[in-house]
């Protein structure tokens, strides 16, 4: 594990899942981190299927700063 500075556009389906979870009252930070980690896995680590195909899990922990923009 290492510190990474990322600027990544999440696919619309992950953004929708985040907004749906938030609107449903998801107070479980772990759920929101899990959805974000799945999106980062697909877009950043696997590059939409072009690399790291065997990667099974990304853990999104020890967050120093996160910002979402539309």
- DSSP assignment of 24-66: TT---HHHHHHHHHHHHIIIIISGGGTS-TT-------S-S--
pLDDT of amino acid 42? 82
**Token pair for 46:** 């696997």
pTM of the model: 0.65
How confident is residue 53, by pLDDT bands cut at 50, 70 and 90? low
Tracing tokens 């990474």 back to the chain, one arrives at 4
For residue 61, the model assigns a pLDDT of: 73
Instruction: Calculate mean pLDDT across residues 43-54.
Output: 73
Q: Which pair of tokens denotes residue 21?
A: 């979870």
Q: Report pLDDT digits (tens) over 10-20.
A: 788 988 998 89
Confidence of residue 70 (pLDDT cuts 50, 70, 90): low
| Cα gap 14→11, rounded to integer Å | 6
């Amino acid at each position: 594990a290492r510190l990474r500075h990322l600027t990544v556009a999440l696919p619309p389906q992950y953004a929708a899942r985040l907004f749906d979870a938030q609107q449903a009252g998801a107070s479980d930070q772990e759920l929101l981190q899990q959805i974000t980690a799945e999106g980062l896995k697909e877009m950043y680590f696997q590059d939409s299927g072009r690399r790291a195909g065997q990667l099974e899990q990304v853990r999104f922990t020890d967050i120093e700063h996160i910002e979402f923009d539309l």
